[in-house]
Amino acid sequence: MVSHSELRKLFYSADAVCFDVDSTVIKEEGIAELAKVCGVEDAVSEMTRRAMGGAVPFKAALTERLALIRPSREQMQRLIAEHLPHLTPGIRELVNPATP
């Protein structure tokens, strides 16, 4: 098992690090929040459920969900203004190199 300090060294020495932001870096699922704002939460939730169950490939499900949502600029601005994301506990410390 890799120790916490070894993992941090590896993390900070990497040339690049990639995160899945939704439900990893932030607590929210952005596409679900956008679907709520656009009034298509149930349809998008059903498509997400089907994709998570393996019935629909990820790319196809994402394409279909975005086609259902079709947000306007105003809806995007409302989402940003009214639904600020919340960082997952510990993420700030993980990405801050000043934190030992």
Maximal C-alpha separation, the chain: 49
Region of 89 on the Ramachandran plot (φ > 0 left; ψ -120 to 50 alpha; else beta): beta
Active site residues: 20, 22
φ, ψ at 23 (rounded to 5°): 60, 15
Burial of 3 (0-12, 13-18, 19+ CB in 10 A): exposed
The beta-carbon contacts of 7-11 under 8 Å, at least 24 apart in sequence, are: 8/100, 11/94
